[in-house]
Amino acid sequence: MRGDGPARWLVRLLVLSDVHWAGPAEQARAGHESRVVGNPVLRLVARLWRRWIWLAVPHGHNHRLASILDQAGPADWVLANGDFTLDTAFVGVSDDAALASSTECLGRLRAAYGDRLLTTIGDHDLGKMSLFGGAGGVRQRSLERCEQELGLKRFWVQEGGEGLVFIGITSTLAAWPMFAPETPLPEHAWWQAQHEAHQQEISGAFDRVRADQRIALCCHDPSALAYLHELPAVRRRLPQLAATLIGHLHSPLILGTARCLAGCPRITWLGTTARRYTTALRRARCWREFRVQLCPSPPGLQLLKDGGWLTADLGAERKADRFTRHRLPWP
């Protein structure tokens, strides 16, 4: 596809991320986060965080997906960059309710975009410990269900046309050492083997990229980028990156804050969440080399109501690229 006028582009990519669809069974779990917090003071903090900062009603935003589908317009490719479920049990799609939510969400996306749809697996699709309660975590069964029942691939390469190649990875798998404390001990050996195999296939894909091609890396959680930066094949191809398309952070405010805190010390004594966040931030200085472009979640933050979607117009040269965030109005 080609644009008109002085700002011409060759490939248009529509990106949406962190839909967090809530099917009927997950809708019935309203207040799921507070229920796993035993400490009453911490429970109050969690409620205030939800009410004023993050999302007061996390299960109340399904309609925003339809708004994006109606408003986004034509695109050559569509990337749905992970987190298809609300993950109210904190164990990803190993939970039947979360699996049902993801099935509904992906069904709508596939009906709308067909073969043009590219998908990655998000951290909530695989399981993630709750922010305040320490419940849940990564589950082997979730990755198996993502692949076998939802038709999601952990890794893929897609020629995008006009010298562009898309590479899709699973961020939790690439960064699994960071998630190891949130993984059941009997599953550690399995996840370590999958992590190593994933790093190898990523290296192989970057090695096979031709010198005349540009890369659009599709990665849900930018925490994985520090682990990719360790791979010589990836570092060699960084000059050929058009962009790394991420989700996970929900809002440009969170991305900006993460950039400001990049290189901060790792904190291990404030619980799992603080350890995970500061581990990622400690190594986040390399994000700049990956030319990170954030797609917000459809609602964004409760605080700013800054959600929406992203379009990436990618030219044959970097100077022609254009990235646009489109906001969805709140009622």
Distance CA 243, CA 91 (A): 30
41-55: pLDDT as tens digits: 888 988 898 899 999
Confidence of residue 316 (pLDDT cuts 50, 70, 90): confident
For position 46, which CATH number holds? Answer: 3.60.21
Confidence of residue 8 (pLDDT cuts 50, 70, 90): low
Confidence of residue 1 (pLDDT cuts 50, 70, 90): low
Q: Which whole number is the average pLDDT over 62-67?
A: 97
Residue 280 is assigned to a structural domain of this protein: yes
Q: Which whole number is the average pLDDT over 125-152?
A: 93
pLDDT score, position 105: 98
104-135: pLDDT as tens digits: 999 999 999 999 999 999 999 999 998 776 78
Residue 5 is assigned to a structural domain of this protein: no
Q: What six digits make up the tokens of 321?
A: 């690229």
Tokens 């398309």, located at residue: 245
Tokens 């405010």, located at residue: 253
Q: Which whole number is the average pLDDT over 85-96?
A: 97
Residue 96 is assigned to a structural domain of this protein: yes
pLDDT score, position 132: 76
Residue 6 is assigned to a structural domain of this protein: no
Identify the bridge partners of residue 218 per DSSP, sorted by sequence position.
168, 245
Kindly list the distances between the CA atom of residue 5 and the CA atoms of 25, 64, 243, in Å, as whole numbers in the listed order: 49, 31, 23
Residues 6+ apart with CB under 8 A from 184: 137, 139
pLDDT score, position 170: 98
Edge-first strand listing for the sheet containing 117-119? 117-119, 77-80, 11-16, 308-314, 322-327
How many residues comprise the chain?
A: 331
Give the residue from 178, 180, 200, 196 showing the smallest Cα distance to 188: 180
DSSP per-residue codes, 241-303: EEEEEE-SS-SHHHHHHHHHHTTPPP--SS-HHHHHHHHHHHTGGGGGGGTEEEPPPSS--TT
What is the total count of domains within the chain? 1
Does the pLDDT of residue 5 top 50, yes or no? no
Does the pLDDT of residue 221 top 80, yes or no? yes
Does the pLDDT of residue 226 top 60, yes or no? yes
Q: What six digits make up the tokens of 298?
A: 């459809």
10-24: pLDDT as tens digits: 899 999 999 999 999
pLDDT score, position 130: 86
Q: Which whole number is the average pLDDT over 217-225?
A: 98
Q: Which whole number is the average pLDDT over 190-194?
A: 98
Does the pLDDT of residue 7 top 60, yes or no? no
Percent of the chain with pLDDT over 90: 80
Percent of the chain with pLDDT over 70: 96
Distance CA 116, CA 79 (A): 8
Confidence of residue 2 (pLDDT cuts 50, 70, 90): low
pLDDT score, position 3: 52
Residue 193 is assigned to a structural domain of this protein: yes
Q: DSSP 3-state helix, strand, coil percentages of the chain (rounded to 5)? A: 45, 15, 40
Mean pLDDT of the chain: 93
Host domain of residue 200: 11-327
Comparing 41-45, 153-157, 203-207, 327-331, the range with the smallest average pLDDT is 41-45
Residues 6+ apart with CB under 8 A from 288: none
